Amino acid sequence: MADAEVERRMKVMRGDTCTISTRRRTYRRIESKAGSSRSHKESYIQKERSYLQFIKIETKNPPTSIPCSSSLTRRFFDRPLDSKCFNVGALDQLFIRDGTLDKLLWNHNWSVDGTVSFFRYPADKKLPSRWSPLGSFFVTSNYDVVSIWGSRYYTDFGRLMRFSHYQVEEFDISPGEKYLVTYNRPDPTDPNGLWLKIFDVSTGTGIVGLNNGDVADSPQWPAIRWAGGKDDTYFATLSKSNTVSVYEARTFNLLGKSPLKLDDVIDISWSPTEAVLAILLKAGGEQPLKVLLLQIPDEVKLAEKEITAIVGDCKMHWQSNGEYLAVNTYGGFEFFRIKEEGIPTDFLKVDKRILAFAWEPSGHRFAVIYGDEPTLSVSFYSMKTPGKITELTTLSNKQADSLFWSPKGNLVVVAALKEGKLEFFDVDRLAQISSVANVKANQVVWNPSGEYVATVSTIPQEEFYSDWCSDPNDTLDRFTIWSSGGDCLFVHQCQNRIMQLDWRPYGGIIDDDMLKTQ
């Protein structure tokens, strides 16, 4: 390695080094008063725990950006948006990892194969690339740099910002796209090396970081779990010692100056739309587990329910609007009605093995696949009536392993991926639209408008070799676009095996306005 390159990297590492301290405090049990309501703010049990303290960092190498004339699409940087920059269908952009290249595809009309690639970039074999949560930009990584890409017109798509993190292994964007989190595995032998950084996306500057000084209780990835909504106000961490700590993003300080006083936490999950934290923990009584709902930042207990469940099988499922929370239990599901007064709960008994569960996006319906293979049942239910879970219909003797709801919520693809079967089902009419066989796919992805479905058979990145020779007759080197009714529109042949495929998300109000004009 050239001396200049070595010196450059040493400067980067020295400029980003800092120290981290781990505080330890001892708390005593504070019993709640008898007769207190569930909404009363309580203190929870906390024994001696450690938590991470973020330290300010200074980015020595300023990020680079392209000229202002090629600003980010959508609302980013609050630049005025010219509606003429989008043609019909321009919103429906598709990302694929085609062999060693990341490609962004655009099609004037996805009903026919007029697909063109307007962006290509060498893929990092270790890390996936992805759209930002609101679709404002595209994110890639390469060894020690994470880059965001975007443009006002699809023809001048270019790099907008670079973020340096030596040997980055993971990255994440906050739901409101204000922060970028980068991560590499902690190395106790290098006490000054940073293993986590948080950047301001709009300026490209590093804000805070964590180093290897004390990583004995560091959280697993994703280390930062952001609260729901687009404000990016709070985030939480779950340590290896099962401690939950909640931070305010504006200051990166620990709320209440201490972790939540809870023992034996198994998992946490934020509401997708607000700062309500669902916590799964061991109950310690006759029931093995308990679900606790806390309102942040005041730590107000909204609801608490003991459940019977097997730890490894117990999962929390939020509906996309945060109106309902479903929790797997032994023999069924426990449902929390988040928006109703007192957050009442309902129990749905399912006395057979559960294979899949999926909420209708922004709706009150959900679907469950259950039973014993090879013949399974698919049931649809509604939460619309308060205090009652209504069964809408049950499809019996089905081959099915996955559920894929349309973003509009009225349609669902019931898939048997192992057998290569797709069934397009209309939940409003409770009727099958079409059935397709011999589909080679392990992913089924709706576009955000609910008009098209892409199917593809991807392979893990580590299984691909750069000298792979594409075969025009190989169904694994292509993806298929279907209509929402199950009609095959076209098959697009790629040059190599596909590792990733995803549609560009819609970003909210601005995208909704643009859709009205198309």
Between residues 148 and 406, the one the model is more confident about: 406
* Percent share of the chain, pLDDT over 70: 76
As a whole number of angstroms, the distance between CA 14 and CA 448 comes to 44
Where residue 501 falls (left for φ over 0; alpha for ψ -120 to 50; beta otherwise) is beta
- Quickly count: other Cβ atoms within 10 Å of residue 289's Cβ: 22
Question: CB of 89 within 8 A of CB of 103?
Answer: no
Strand partners, 479: 456, 492
- Candidates 477, 431, 422; CA nearest to 453 is 422
Confidence check: pLDDT of 154 > 60: no
pLDDT tops 60 at residue 1:
no
pLDDT band at 67; cut points 50, 70, 90: very low
Confidence of residue 71 (pLDDT cuts 50, 70, 90): very low
Spell out where 10-164 has E strands: 22-25, 49-52, 55-56, 94-98, 101-106, 116-122, 130-131, 138-142, 145-150, 158-164
The whole-angstrom separation of Cα 29 and Cα 17 is 38
The answer to whether 149 and 158 have CB atoms below 8 angstroms apart is yes
Q: Is the pLDDT of residue 301 over 90?
A: yes
Tokens of 98: 């085609």
The whole-number pLDDT of residue 373 equals 84
Instruction: Write b or e for each residue in 144-173: b if 16 or more Cβ atoms lie within 10 A of its Cβ, otherwise e.
Output: ebbbbbbbbbbeebebbbbbbbbebebbbb
Chain segment 425-459, per-residue pLDDT in tens: 999 999 999 999 999 999 999 999 899 999 999 98
pLDDT score for 512: 58
The pLDDT, as a whole number, for residue 240 is 81
Token pair for residue 277? Answer: 């934290």
| 218-239 CB burial, b ≥16 within 10 A, e <16 | bbeeebbbbbbbeebbbbbbbb
For residue 73, is pLDDT > 90?
Answer: no
| Residue 84 confidence (pLDDT) | 36
| Other C-beta atoms lying within 10 Å of the C-beta of residue 82 | 9
| CB distance 275 to 233 below 8 Å | yes
Which DSSP helix (H) or strand (E) runs through 8? helix 3-15
Quote the tokens at residue 385.
């009536």
Q: What is the pLDDT of residue 202?
A: 83
Q: Are 229 and 273 contacting, i.e. CB atoms less than 8 angstroms apart?
A: yes
pLDDT of residue 500: 94
**pLDDT value at 10 more than 70:** no
Mean pLDDT computed over 39-46:
40
pLDDT tens sequence across 229-277: 999 999 999 988 888 999 999 999 999 989 998 988 999 999 999 999 9
Q: Give the CB-side neighbour count of residue 255, counting CA atoms within 13 A.
A: 19
Instruction: State the pLDDT at residue 70.
Output: 29
Among 51-55, 161-165, 200-204, 356-360, the minimum mean pLDDT is found in: 51-55
- For residue 38, pLDDT beyond 70: no
Q: What's residue 37's pLDDT?
A: 39
For residue 3, is it left (φ>0), alpha (ψ between -120 and 50) or beta? alpha
| CA 237 vs CA 163, 224, 257, 299: distances in Å | 23, 6, 14, 15
**pTM for the whole thing?**
0.83
Spatial distance between the Cα atoms of 336 and 345, rounded to a whole number of angstroms: 5
Half-sphere exposure of 161 (CA within 13 A, CB side): 20
Q: Is the peptide bond before 272 cis (omega within 30 degrees of 0)?
A: no
Q: Which two tokens stand for residue 123?
A: 């893929």
Specify whether the CB–CB gap between 196 and 209 falls below 8 A: yes
Structure confidence at residue 179 (pLDDT): 95
Span 393-399, average pLDDT: 96
Task: Count other C-beta atoms under 10 Å from residue 249's C-beta.
Answer: 21
For residue 374, is the peptide bond before it cis, meaning its omega torsion is within 30 degrees of 0? yes
Dump pLDDT digits (tens) for 80-128: 333 333 333 456 889 999 988 999 888 877 888 888 887 889 988 788 9
Residue type, 155: T
Q: How many CA atoms lie within 13 A of 505 on its CB side?
A: 15
Instruction: Tell me the backbone φ, ψ of residue 203, rounded to 5 degrees.
Output: -110, -20
For the beta sheet containing 265-270, the strands, ordered from the edge strand earlier in sequence to the opposite edge, are 265-270, 276-282, 289-295, 300-307
Q: Name the average pLDDT for the chain.
A: 80
**Is a pLDDT exceeding 70 seen at residue 133?**
yes
Q: What is the pLDDT at residue 297?
A: 95
| pLDDT tens per residue across span 464-518 | 665 555 555 666 689 999 999 999 999 999 988 899 999 998 875 445 555 555 5
